[in-house]
Structure 1
Amino acid sequence: MRGWTYLLVIPVVAVLGTASGQQAFLQHAASGLKPAQRASDKANSTGNLIFWSVSSLLQHWPNTRYINGHTITAATVPPGTILYHGRSNNDRPMTLDWLATDPEHSFVFCWGKCYLYTYVTTRPLRLAYFDGSSASKVMSSGVMDTQDIVIWGKVRSDMARNERVRIQELCKWGEQYKLDGFVRMEMDFEIMICDFDAGMKLISESKVIPHITTEGRFYSDFINLSHRALLPRPPPHRPAPELPPGWRGSARSEMSTAFEVLNAGMWHNRPPGETRIKIDYSRILSFFDPALSSLVRARAGKSKEEFRLDEISEADSKYTRDKLDDIFTRDGQGSGIDWGSITQVVVDRYGKRLELLQHILQNPESNRNVTEQVAEARSQVLIMLTPYMLVSAIPPNLTGPVNRSWIDPVVKHCASTHIAWTPETLLTPQEKSIKAAVEEVLSQICGVLGDIWVDAFDSENSNVKELERFLTKWQLDITQLMDWLDWSVWLKCKPACGPEEICYIPTWPWGYRFGRNEVGKVDMTPRCVEAVVPYSFLQPSRPGPHSS
């Protein structure tokens, strides 16, 4: 039967078995891989990009920093999940419309009146997820390229503003796979639903207090306060809010509403991200696949934020659509391995430690002398390599010529622990791609740490000139490694924001009119902005019919 079976997680102990089985695994891991090779030296290497994409799925922060998506994956929403739809009339949506995962996101679409519809899923909803800021309407940077490839087989910049045609065409395409809808992200996550009566039940229809549109004053106030300038000019001619008889005081301001939808999106900034949507990691299509030769050429010399799909060839477009057909019709469940968890374990293990090591090596505003600096760096490398530091991995002769092969078993063990045990025969083609990406990332990390350890092993007996040479080399190695990995865990406000601030990256549609740098690009550097709306902005530009 055509369709897909939902993921089952296979515990690692089931693969590794008993203690004797684990010992056999360790012996294999220490001897089964070639010495780590610099991933950055490999032609068309994309392991770091695929790893980054997999580890960032359904997280708001990294997909706001890099708005152009490059991944399509099968996803589900479990039964019992609450979803929301907001509008200014009581004409209940029936087909081809949008749902939000948080009510704050739905509330922003109410003007004058606010009808909030609340739904619960009655079975798993079958979805396709487009990563990046894929609901950032009207942007021409490439945020909707993956959707265009699915619908038309090529990028259609002329269709960027036509959301009604887009949802019609996506749902028409999804019919053959019995898809219920599509997951995208803007200020928060949304679901484009093809049929509101399929797999969902309406549990409430509530007329709630609307927010107040402040129009011209709202815009001019923010122009005058440029450090708070996050919001574009509201469209004109919005209806005045209908406040009920007996209402006293101010209602929610448009500014407050905007900030709270941003806050709701930021709940999903970091792992585990948006937990109400479940990714099937055995059914992931990556446009970073090096088999897409036209995109390899298009990517040359471009940063991750600049790379888009408008140069994809007809052959590569057909290849991706064929892969999608396989993804959404294939029987079986793949290996059941939670690849998102595996990538997160790698980020958790090395993210903050590499950042600390870089800080020590750069020695900013520190009183450490060179000897102390090297000693502390050596200690951090030893911490990261401790689980893989085999007693047999000792240089045979410290007085002879430098022989670095003694570190190879440590590097192999470090690089293979998380992936050497994976059962190849159970992996889907997409899982094999993820496995290769994890292997490439770990080989790079462990290779750099291993190289540093060779220098640092006997550094306590080195002279100052040698120590200075080590520091210069290690600084370059760690900086290049972290630039190559480009993990979002390192993307933060420095210094950290205060209790009444939020760390913010320009998010569509708020922020793209401001903060452009000297070359005209939006400055995506995280910055602290006020999270508490100043009281003066809570006052409407004109009173509502029943406000006082």
Structure 2
Amino acid sequence: MRNLWASLSLGLASTYASGKDTKPSVQNSNHIFNAIHSSMRQWGSSLIHNGMSLFLATVPKGVELYHGTSEPARINGTEWLAFEPEHALVFARSHRGPPPGRGGPPEPERHPHDDEAWHPPERFDERSRYMPWHGDSACDDLEPRHPRHDDRPLTHTAGQRARARMQHEQQRLFIEENSPEDQSYGYLHTYQPKKDLRLLYIDGQSAAKSDKGTLDMQDIVLLHDNPPPKGADDHPPLREPSKDGHRRPGGPMGEVYRAEKLCELAQTEWQGQIDGFLRMELGFEIILCSFERDLDVKRITRATSQDMGGSSGPGGNGNGLNYYQAVASRFDGIGGHRVTLSYDNFISLFAAEGAMTFNEKKLPRARNDSNIIRTFLTATKEMILQPPTTDPKDWQAVADMVVTKYADRIQYLASGDVDNLKSFKAELRQLLRPFIDYGNRNTTLEIHRCATQYVPELSSSSGVAAVSVLNVATTICSTLSNAAEASTHKEALDRTQSLKSWLAWPIWKRCRGCGYNEVCFVPIWPMGGEQEHEHPRCVSNMSEISRGYWGDRGPGPHHRSKSSNKNDLR
């Protein structure tokens, strides 16, 4: 796969640098561009939720990271960390309370490798670790009451791994025996990395336990030889090993098993060069393989459910809204240089022929083809083990410049509001005139100047990111140039609308004009319907949203029939 990408880059660099080729290409470059642009951004990653790409990521030493649990003692072993305290506070709950999640139908009687078309179970999964007990958590606006499973430990994982629980069992029992009967608090742990953490970032909503493809990169690709077994989430983790000496996997859709196997892969196949895995759901999180090795405790504080604050009634702020506001604050990036991604050297299923397909809902899905997957896994190992890039290029910053320059202009032209050819061409001329030599017209050179305004010249070593960003920029410039030469208004409009559809930039679904007490709601697992995925809207209370994750069970009782998106330009 590496060789494939190198040949694509070399072919483009050698022909396009001279301005002779106006149509550089790489397979699915529009999707790769969007993966780059949306990486580590809650908004784009929520809309483009089936991640097909892997990036090397670094979290600097000393960054504050959070873990919510019922336990006051520090955590060791493999566990989950949140970047925002509101994310972890959902799980800073008493061990007395019922856990997130609930039971459901068993897995289909089918093994993951029975056929090529297998994907994570095709069913709506409500057994989420982000489904806390109704009325006693930050998400009490989101879901109906769940049955309790008192033997499930409450932690940021929705079931702390058995050995971690056993380590703290004596302390837990002491607290239980010496606490008042109405104890309602848990603990918020704040940790700091002892060193720079080297992580593998799986893009999209890769922490979403859904059947829509969010787990494909993990379960079909990375864990191809050891996928989560069927029925992995039908029971909590055992406190004691089973008769055969093995603990059954626990957590929603085999989440605990998934984490352990990913860390095993990092330690063995990747020679310990990866410390954990960076993923996203309602907030960014890390599966860190060794808390004990990599983290210092900054503080451990007691929390109560009331600490989340806010009213859950109609028009109130609501606990769920408070959590979502924290998530929405990272729509445009994790911020604070808390994560650095390597764009010069990342890999994507989009760039490999036959590695993925699009289903009937136009969602990308990984193909369960062992030959393709093993090639991809080899490329992943090479990416991880090779020395870091000496002079990295921030291709997300380049993609940002392309999007911010053209997004509003393309949306305006494609809207149909410019209703005659003369005005349409006038708009296009304003966009293109900086690249035109009116004393010596040359369309090929004009497109080349336009496309390379922000993209540096490529070389034989340019990677997929460089090729894809340049291809998108060139497609924009060539389409606008062709539209400027159209003989009819319909022709010019059709070309611009086709360009907008091909680009599919997430920014075009952003709400405009939300109130100070509202957030632009886009479905993020485990909540939100398909209609809201197509048309995100301003909300002031989580009771206004559809129940479930694309379950489309209808909005809550306080749903307003008219969207509060005051300036929706979609």
TM-score by length of 2: 0.67
CA shift, 1:379, in A, is 3.4
Q: Is the 8 A contact 1:501 1:532 kept in 2?
A: no
Relative to structure 1, the CA distance from residue 485 to residue 99 in structure 2 (aligned partners, 3 Å threshold; closer, same or farther) is same
User: Which residue identity does 2:517 align to in structure 1?
Assistant: E
Equivalent residue of 1:80, what SS? coil
Equivalent residue of 1:362, what SS? coil
Q: Distance in 1 between matches of 2:387 and 2:308?
A: 51
Q: Distance in 2 between matches of 1:307 and 1:156?
A: 21
Which residue of structure 2 lines up, in the alignment, with residue 49 of structure 1? 31
CA shift, 1:103, in A, is 0.4
Q: Is the 8 A contact 1:187 1:508 kept in 2?
A: yes
Q: Is the 8 A contact 2:201 2:278 kept in 1?
A: yes
CA shift, 1:532, in A, is 9.2
Which residue of structure 1 lines up, in the alignment, with residue 510 of structure 2? 492
Relative to structure 1, the CA distance from residue 533 to residue 484 in structure 2 (aligned partners, 3 Å threshold; closer, same or farther) is closer
Which structure would you say has the larger Rg?
A: 1
Equivalent residue of 2:299, what SS? strand
Structure 2 residue 218 is matched with structure 1 residue 147: yes
CA shift, 1:53, in A, is 0.7
Alignment of 1:266-305 (within 5 A): 266-271=328-333, 275-289=337-351, 291-295=352-356, 298-299=357-358, 304=362
User: Which residue identity does 1:151 align to in structure 2?
Assistant: L
Alignment of 1:21-420 (within 5 A): 32-37=18-23, 45-111=27-93, 112-137=184-209, 139-148=210-219, 149-153=221-225, 158=230, 161-175=253-267, 176-211=271-306, 256-271=318-333, 275-289=337-351, 291-295=352-356, 298-299=357-358, 304=362, 306-309=363-366, 311-333=367-389, 335-359=391-415, 361-363=416-418, 373-394=420-441, 406-420=442-456
After superposition, the C-alpha distances for 1:240-274 in whole angstroms (9 at most, x for unaligned) are: xxxxxxxxxxxxx9x83322221111111125768
Q: Is the 8 A contact 2:32 2:465 kept in 1?
A: yes
Q: Is the 8 A contact 1:36 1:446 kept in 2?
A: no
Q: Distance in 2 between matches of 1:29 and 1:414?
A: 17
Q: Is the 8 A contact 2:226 2:261 kept in 1?
A: no
After superposition, the C-alpha distances for 1:59-90 in whole angstroms (9 at most, x for unaligned) are: 11111112211111110101221111111221
After superposition, the C-alpha distances for 1:149-199 in whole angstroms (9 at most, x for unaligned) are: 112348658356111111111111111233211111110001111111333
Q: Distance in 1 between matches of 2:436 and 2:417?
A: 26
Relative to structure 1, the CA distance from residue 523 to residue 74 in structure 2 (aligned partners, 3 Å threshold; closer, same or farther) is closer
Structure 2 residue 536 is matched with structure 1 residue 505: no
Q: Is the 8 A contact 1:407 1:454 kept in 2?
A: no
CA shift, 1:336, in A, is 1.3
User: Which residue identity does 1:379 align to in structure 2?
Assistant: A
User: Which residue identity does 1:104 align to in structure 2?
Assistant: E
Q: Is the 8 A contact 2:92 2:303 kept in 1?
A: no
Q: Distance in 1 between matches of 2:335 and 2:502?
A: 23
User: Which residue identity does 1:145 align to in structure 2?
Assistant: D
**Identity among equivalent pairs (%):** 25
Higher deviation after alignment, 190-199 or 150-159: 150-159
Q: Is the 8 A contact 1:77 1:125 kept in 2?
A: yes
Structure 2 residue 559 is matched with structure 1 residue 528: no
Relative to structure 1, the CA distance from residue 29 to residue 324 in structure 2 (aligned partners, 3 Å threshold; closer, same or farther) is closer
Q: Distance in 2 between matches of 1:492 and 1:419?
A: 26
Q: Distance in 1 between matches of 2:517 and 2:338?
A: 28
Equivalent residue of 2:205, what SS? coil
CA shift, 1:416, in A, is 2.9
Q: Distance in 1 between matches of 2:342 and 2:274?
A: 14
Q: Is the 8 A contact 2:58 2:198 kept in 1?
A: yes
Q: Is the 8 A contact 2:228 2:257 kept in 1?
A: no
After superposition, the C-alpha distances for 1:461-492 in whole angstroms (9 at most, x for unaligned) are: xxxxxxxx622111111110010000111112
User: Which residue identity does 1:34 align to in structure 2?
Assistant: K
User: Which residue identity does 2:484 align to in structure 1?
Assistant: W
User: Which residue identity does 1:79 align to in structure 2?
Assistant: K
Structure 2 residue 511 is matched with structure 1 residue 439: no
Q: Is the 8 A contact 1:29 1:420 kept in 2?
A: no
After superposition, the C-alpha distances for 1:102-145 in whole angstroms (9 at most, x for unaligned) are: 100011112221211111223210101111111112x1111111
Q: Distance in 2 between matches of 1:506 and 1:533?
A: 14
After superposition, the C-alpha distances for 1:347-405 in whole angstroms (9 at most, x for unaligned) are: 1111122122224x434xxxxxx6xx4444333322322331223443xxxxxxxxxxx
Equivalent residue of 1:281, what SS? coil
Q: Is the 8 A contact 2:42 2:333 kept in 1?
A: no
Q: Is the 8 A contact 1:504 1:527 kept in 2?
A: yes
User: Which residue identity does 2:536 align to in structure 1?
Assistant: P
Relative to structure 1, the CA distance from residue 115 to residue 318 in structure 2 (aligned partners, 3 Å threshold; closer, same or farther) is same
Q: Is the 8 A contact 1:116 1:207 kept in 2?
A: yes
Relative to structure 1, the CA distance from residue 31 to residue 82 in structure 2 (aligned partners, 3 Å threshold; closer, same or farther) is closer
Equivalent residue of 1:288, what SS? helix
Which residue of structure 2 lines up, in the alignment, with residue 422 of structure 1? 458
Relative to structure 1, the CA distance from residue 352 to residue 393 in structure 2 (aligned partners, 3 Å threshold; closer, same or farther) is farther
Q: Distance in 1 between matches of 2:31 and 2:533?
A: 22
Which residue of structure 2 lines up, in the alignment, with residue 20 of structure 1? none
Relative to structure 1, the CA distance from residue 349 to residue 69 in structure 2 (aligned partners, 3 Å threshold; closer, same or farther) is same
Q: Distance in 2 between matches of 1:445 and 1:347?
A: 10
User: Which residue identity does 1:307 align to in structure 2?
Assistant: P
User: Which residue identity does 1:168 align to in structure 2?
Assistant: E
After superposition, the C-alpha distances for 1:418-439 in whole angstroms (9 at most, x for unaligned) are: 33523434x4xxxx21122112
User: Which residue identity does 1:270 align to in structure 2?
Assistant: D
Higher deviation after alignment, 255-264 or 333-342: 255-264
Q: Distance in 2 between matches of 1:29 and 1:307?
A: 31
TM-score by length of 1: 0.69
User: Which residue identity does 2:326 align to in structure 1?
Assistant: A
User: Which residue identity does 2:354 align to in structure 1?
Assistant: S
Q: Is the 8 A contact 2:308 2:322 kept in 1?
A: no
Q: Is the 8 A contact 2:77 2:291 kept in 1?
A: yes
User: Which residue identity does 1:286 align to in structure 2?
Assistant: S
* Root mean square deviation, CA, Å: 3.2
